Amino acid sequence: MENNNGEMFSYTSSSTSPPPAAVNCSSYLSLNMMNNDEYSHMNNYSKQQQVVGFIEKDGQMYESSDDMVVTDQQVSPTSGSQLTDDLNMASRKSSSIRKGEKKIRKPKHAFQTRSQVDILDDGYRWRKYGQKAVKNNKFPRNYYRCTYQGCNVKKQVQRLSNDDGVVVTTYEGMHSHPIEKSTDNFEHILTQMQLYSR
DNA sequence: CGTATTTGACCGGCGC
DNA sequence: GCGCCGGTCAAATACG
């Protein structure tokens, strides 16, 4: 049984035993501030970013676009529809890897983030495994997989061509392990500060 | 030298 | 059946 609602934020419920770093709700909103290797030239002039949209999707086959919920008005209608379109296509495949099983609906959750940098550091380690050109979009879409052993959380990152200040990050699956990033993580530093200040 | 990324090939689903 | 498309694989390459 899968919870197909609010899954991304399930860590915040802190029910079982997630590590302290993962419990913090700021995990997602305080996305990356540092270390973007090859994009460092862009970092120089603008690092600020804000989440401008949040979309939930549960990976079933969809036909219309009303199955997506964009919870922010700042998102322009044009970019919103394009995003919806792309995600509909994205959800078509990649559903059932297992053989002999019925269609598994894979929860997908998309963030729309206003950022100058493409790589949003959410605290996990990702390995890039693909890059594809997106139709009607001058920017490619990047595919990443979580490098933690046994964890196949995937995410894809793309930038909207009509508004290149917006980056869309789509997560698929759920991490069942602690955030494993080294000490240069903003996240980690924040947690440390909170620990020391009480 | 071990690990991560790049990038063209490949695959399966879908529409025609 | 064929071609297109989104997604993934994996050999080659880059990188530390």
- Any strand B atom closer than 7 Å to A127 CB: yes
Residue A36 has pLDDT above 60, yes or no: no
Residues 50-109 of A with CB under 7 A from strand B: 61, 92-93
Give A80 CA → B16 C1' in Å: 29
**Angstrom distance, A70 CA to C3 C1':** 34
User: The tokens of A19 are what?
Assistant: 């590590």
- A137 has pLDDT over 60: yes
Strand C neighbours among A 133-162, CB < 7 A: 134-135, 141, 143, 154, 156
Residue A73: Cβ within 10 Å count: 8
Position A166 pLDDT exceeds 80: yes
Q: Give me the mean pLDDT over the A41-62 stretch.
A: 50
Q: Which residue has the higher pLDDT, A92 or A141?
A: A141
The confidence band for A197, taking pLDDT boundaries of 50, 70 and 90, is low
Whether A44 has a pLDDT exceeding 50, the answer reads no
Model confidence band, residue A112 (pLDDT cutoffs 50, 70, 90): confident
User: What is the spatial distance, in angstroms and rounded to an integer, between the CA atom of A145 and the C1' atom of B11?
Assistant: 19
Q: What are phi and psi of A41, to 5 degrees?
A: -65, -30
Looking at residue A187, what is its pLDDT?
Answer: 54
- Under 8 Å CB-to-CB from A73, ≥6 apart: which residues? none
Nucleotides of B under 7 A from a protein CB: 4-9, 12-14
pLDDT in tens, A57-82: 554 443 333 334 443 334 444 444 44
CA atoms within 13 A on the CB side of A55: 30
The fraction of chain A above a pLDDT of 70, given in percent, is 33
Determine the pLDDT at residue A128: 94
Q: Any idea which nucleotide's C1' is nearest the CA of A143? A: C7
The residue that leads in pLDDT, A94 or A129, is A129
Rounded mean pLDDT, A133-138: 86
Which of A96, A41, A71, A74 is CA-nearest to residue A163?
A74
**Is residue A18 within 8 Å of residue A178, measured between CB atoms?**
yes
Q: Of the spans A3-7, A51-55, A56-60, A71-75, which averages the highest pLDDT? A: A51-55
Distance of C1' in B5 from CA in A150, Å = 21
Dist CA A161 CA A14 (whole Å): 38
Instruction: Give, in order, the Cα–Cα distances in Å from A54 to each of A32, A96, A170.
Output: 17, 25, 10
pLDDT, residue A175, reads 77
Q: What is the pLDDT of residue A116?
A: 65
What's the pLDDT tens digit per position in A172-193? 887 778 776 554 555 555 555 6
The distance (Å) linking the CA of A142 with the C1' of C9 is 15
